Amino acid sequence: MADIETMQATGTVAEAMDRLEAAVTEAGATVFARVDHGGGAEQAGMTLADSELLIFGNPQLGTPVMQEDPLAGLYLPLKILAYDDGSGQVHIAYEEVEETFDDLDVDDDLDAIEKMENALEKFARAAAGE
Protein backbone atom coordinates (compact mmCIF):
# COMPACT_ATOMS: atom_id res chain seq x y z
CA MET A 1 0.00 0.00 0.00
CA ALA A 2 2.46 2.60 -1.20
CA ASP A 3 -0.21 5.33 -1.21
CA ILE A 4 -0.96 4.88 2.50
CA GLU A 5 1.33 6.39 5.13
CA THR A 6 1.36 4.59 8.49
CA MET A 7 3.17 5.04 11.78
CA GLN A 8 3.00 3.45 15.21
CA ALA A 9 1.32 5.38 17.99
CA THR A 10 1.61 5.36 21.76
CA GLY A 11 -1.39 4.67 23.99
CA THR A 12 -4.85 3.59 22.95
CA VAL A 13 -6.82 4.39 19.82
CA ALA A 14 -8.98 6.81 21.83
CA GLU A 15 -5.88 8.57 23.20
CA ALA A 16 -4.40 8.88 19.72
CA MET A 17 -7.66 10.29 18.39
CA ASP A 18 -7.89 12.77 21.26
CA ARG A 19 -4.37 14.01 20.40
CA LEU A 20 -5.32 14.18 16.72
CA GLU A 21 -8.54 16.06 17.36
CA ALA A 22 -6.70 18.57 19.58
CA ALA A 23 -3.99 19.15 16.94
CA VAL A 24 -6.55 19.66 14.17
CA THR A 25 -8.58 22.10 16.28
CA GLU A 26 -5.46 24.00 17.41
CA ALA A 27 -4.46 24.43 13.76
CA GLY A 28 -7.79 26.10 13.03
CA ALA A 29 -9.25 23.30 10.93
CA THR A 30 -12.78 22.00 11.37
CA VAL A 31 -13.53 18.53 12.75
CA PHE A 32 -16.58 17.24 10.89
CA ALA A 33 -16.87 13.78 12.42
CA ARG A 34 -15.19 11.19 14.58
CA VAL A 35 -16.29 7.74 13.45
CA ASP A 36 -15.96 4.85 15.91
CA HIS A 37 -15.70 1.77 13.67
CA GLY A 38 -15.14 -0.56 16.64
CA GLY A 39 -18.21 0.84 18.41
CA GLY A 40 -20.28 0.41 15.27
CA ALA A 41 -19.23 -3.21 14.97
CA GLU A 42 -20.15 -3.79 18.62
CA GLN A 43 -23.61 -2.30 18.05
CA ALA A 44 -24.05 -4.71 15.15
CA GLY A 45 -23.17 -7.65 17.41
CA MET A 46 -19.77 -8.10 15.80
CA THR A 47 -16.23 -7.70 17.05
CA LEU A 48 -13.57 -5.43 15.64
CA ALA A 49 -10.38 -4.16 17.22
CA ASP A 50 -10.55 -0.48 18.19
CA SER A 51 -10.59 1.70 15.10
CA GLU A 52 -11.57 5.37 14.77
CA LEU A 53 -11.56 7.76 11.82
CA LEU A 54 -11.35 11.55 12.09
CA ILE A 55 -12.80 13.58 9.22
CA PHE A 56 -11.60 17.18 9.11
CA GLY A 57 -10.82 20.00 6.76
CA ASN A 58 -10.04 23.60 6.02
CA PRO A 59 -11.95 25.35 3.20
CA GLN A 60 -8.90 27.55 2.49
CA LEU A 61 -7.06 24.42 1.36
CA GLY A 62 -9.90 22.29 0.02
CA THR A 63 -11.63 24.95 -2.06
CA PRO A 64 -8.71 25.58 -4.48
CA VAL A 65 -8.48 21.83 -5.12
CA MET A 66 -12.22 21.59 -5.79
CA GLN A 67 -12.00 24.64 -8.06
CA GLU A 68 -9.58 22.68 -10.24
CA ASP A 69 -11.83 19.61 -10.28
CA PRO A 70 -15.19 19.47 -8.48
CA LEU A 71 -14.80 15.68 -8.17
CA ALA A 72 -12.19 16.34 -5.48
CA GLY A 73 -15.24 16.73 -3.24
CA LEU A 74 -15.51 12.94 -3.29
CA TYR A 75 -12.20 12.77 -1.39
CA LEU A 76 -12.47 15.84 0.80
CA PRO A 77 -12.55 16.51 3.69
CA LEU A 78 -9.35 14.78 4.72
CA LYS A 79 -9.26 11.70 6.97
CA ILE A 80 -6.88 10.01 9.38
CA LEU A 81 -7.44 6.54 10.83
CA ALA A 82 -6.23 5.26 14.19
CA TYR A 83 -6.52 1.49 14.65
CA ASP A 84 -5.39 -1.36 16.85
CA ASP A 85 -3.75 -4.10 14.78
CA GLY A 86 -5.21 -6.80 17.02
CA SER A 87 -2.04 -7.26 19.06
CA GLY A 88 -2.49 -4.09 21.08
CA GLN A 89 -0.27 -1.91 18.86
CA VAL A 90 -1.99 1.27 17.67
CA HIS A 91 -1.25 2.68 14.22
CA ILE A 92 -2.06 5.95 12.48
CA ALA A 93 -2.82 5.85 8.75
CA TYR A 94 -3.69 8.31 6.01
CA GLU A 95 -3.63 8.43 2.24
CA GLU A 96 -0.93 10.53 0.57
CA VAL A 97 -2.66 13.67 -0.70
CA GLU A 98 -0.96 13.76 -4.08
CA GLU A 99 -2.08 10.16 -4.69
CA THR A 100 -5.63 10.93 -3.56
CA PHE A 101 -6.16 13.31 -6.47
CA ASP A 102 -4.09 11.39 -9.07
CA ASP A 103 -7.07 10.42 -11.22
CA LEU A 104 -8.51 13.94 -11.17
CA ASP A 105 -7.70 17.09 -13.10
CA VAL A 106 -5.76 18.59 -10.19
CA ASP A 107 -2.25 19.97 -10.64
CA ASP A 108 0.19 18.10 -8.35
CA ASP A 109 2.08 21.39 -7.91
CA LEU A 110 -0.96 23.22 -6.54
CA ASP A 111 0.11 25.04 -3.35
CA ALA A 112 -2.88 23.63 -1.43
CA ILE A 113 -1.73 20.05 -2.12
CA GLU A 114 1.63 20.61 -0.42
CA LYS A 115 -0.06 22.37 2.50
CA MET A 116 -2.48 19.42 2.90
CA GLU A 117 0.43 16.94 2.80
CA ASN A 118 2.32 18.90 5.46
CA ALA A 119 -0.78 19.20 7.65
CA LEU A 120 -1.57 15.48 7.41
CA GLU A 121 1.97 14.53 8.39
CA LYS A 122 1.96 17.02 11.29
CA PHE A 123 -1.44 15.81 12.52
CA ALA A 124 -0.47 12.12 12.17
CA ARG A 125 2.69 12.70 14.21
CA ALA A 126 0.67 14.47 16.89
CA ALA A 127 -1.80 11.57 16.97
CA ALA A 128 1.09 9.09 17.22
CA GLY A 129 2.38 10.93 20.27
CA GLU A 130 5.61 12.15 18.66
Over the stretch 20-42, which tens digit does the pLDDT of each residue have? 999 999 999 999 999 999 999 99
Over the stretch 111-125, which tens digit does the pLDDT of each residue have? 999 999 999 999 999
User: Cα-flanking dihedrals φ and ψ of residue 111, to 5°?
Assistant: -55, -40
Which residues lie closer than 8 Å to 15 by C-beta, 6 or more apart? Answer: 129
CATH number, span 4-128: 3.30.310.70
What's the whole-model pTM score?
A: 0.92
Q: What is the mean pLDDT of residues 89-105?
A: 92
Q: What is the mean pLDDT of residues 4-12?
A: 96
Q: Which residues of 34-63 are buried (b: 16+ CB within 10 A; e: fewer)?
A: eebbbeeeeeeeeebebbbbbbbbbeebbe
Q: Which residue has the higher pLDDT, 76 or 108?
A: 76
Over the stretch 54-94, which tens digit does the pLDDT of each residue have? 999 999 999 999 999 999 999 999 999 999 999 999 999 99
